[in-house]
Amino acid sequence: MNNPNYLITGCAGFIGFHLSRRLLDKGDTIVGIDNLNNYYDPKLKKDRLAILLGYPNFTFYKINIANRKKMAEFFSSNVKSNHLAPKTQGLGQPKSFDYVIHLAAQAGVRYSLVNPYAYIESNIDGFLNILEGCRKIKPKHLVFASSSAVYGANTKLPFSVYDNVDHPVSLYAATKKANELMAHTYAHLYGLPCTGLRFFTVYGPWGRPDMALFLFTRAILENKSIDIYNYGDMQRDFTYIDDIVEGIVRITHKTPEPIKKDDNIDPSKSHAPYRLYNIGNNNPVELMRLIEIIEENLDKKANKNKLPMQPGDVKATYADIDDLFHDVGFKPATPIEEGVKRFVTWYKQYY
* Confidence check: pLDDT of 55 > 90: yes
Phi/psi at 183 (5° precision): -65, -40
pTM equals 0.93
pLDDT at 77: 58
* Confidence check: pLDDT of 218 > 90: yes
Helices 287-298 and 212-221: angle between axes, nearest 10 degrees: 40
- Domain assignment present for residue 309? The answer is no
* Confidence check: pLDDT of 88 > 90: no
pLDDT at 89: 44
pLDDT at 80: 43
pLDDT at 198: 98
Cα(316)–Cα(156) distance, rounded to whole angstroms? 10
Side-chain half-sphere exposure of 319, counting CA atoms within 13 A: 31
Per-residue pLDDT tens over the stretch 128-175 = 999 999 999 999 999 999 999 999 999 999 999 999 999 999 999 999
DSSP per-residue letters across 69-123: HHHHHHHSTT-----SSTT---TTS-SS-SEEEE------STHHHH-HHHHIIII
pLDDT at 313: 82
Q: Judge whether 280 and 200 are in contact, CB under 8 Å.
A: yes
- Pick from 98, 20, 18: nearest CA to 60: 20
Q: Judge whether 179 and 146 are in contact, CB under 8 Å.
A: yes
pLDDT at 84: 41
Q: Active-site residue 172, yes or no?
A: yes
* Confidence check: pLDDT of 90 > 70: no
* DSSP 8-state code for residue 125: I
pLDDT at 184: 97
pLDDT at 78: 38
Cα(281)–Cα(73) distance, rounded to whole angstroms? 39
Q: Residue 136 maps to which CATH number?
A: 3.40.50.720
Cα(70)–Cα(9) distance, rounded to whole angstroms? 14
- Domain assignment present for residue 221? The answer is no
* Domain residue limits at 137: 5-207+238-281+318-333
Q: What is the mean pLDDT of the chain?
A: 92
pLDDT at 110: 85
**Which residue of the set 40, 55, 99, 172 is catalytic?**
172
pLDDT band per the 50, 70, 90 thresholds, residue 82: very low
* Confidence check: pLDDT of 91 > 60: no
The CA-atom distances, in angstroms, between 13 and each of 40, 63, 282 are 10, 14, 24
Using DSSP, state whether 198 is helix, strand or coil. strand
pLDDT at 108: 87
**β-pairing verdict for 285-286 and 235-236:** antiparallel
- Domain assignment present for residue 232? The answer is no
Cα(332)–Cα(45) distance, rounded to whole angstroms? 26
**Most distant CA pair in the chain: distance in Å?**
62
Mean pLDDT score, 48-54: 98
pLDDT at 81: 42
Per-residue pLDDT tens over the stretch 225-250 = 999 999 988 999 999 999 999 999 99
- Domain assignment present for residue 78? The answer is yes
pLDDT at 314: 85
pLDDT at 311: 86
* Confidence check: pLDDT of 318 > 50: yes
- Domain assignment present for residue 291? The answer is no
- Pick from 45, 74, 199, 47: nearest CA to 136: 74
Mean pLDDT score, 266-271: 84
pLDDT at 86: 36
Q: Which residues contact 118 (CB under 8 A, 6 or more apart)?
A: 39, 106, 111, 112
Using DSSP, state whether 136 is helix, strand or coil. helix
- Domain assignment present for residue 123? The answer is yes
Mean pLDDT score, 306-322: 90
* DSSP 8-state code for residue 286: E
Q: Among 20-24, 186-190, 255-259, 313-317, where is mean pLDDT lowest?
A: 313-317
- Domain assignment present for residue 139? The answer is yes
Number of domains in the chain: 1
pLDDT at 286: 95
pLDDT at 260: 80
- Domain assignment present for residue 212? The answer is no
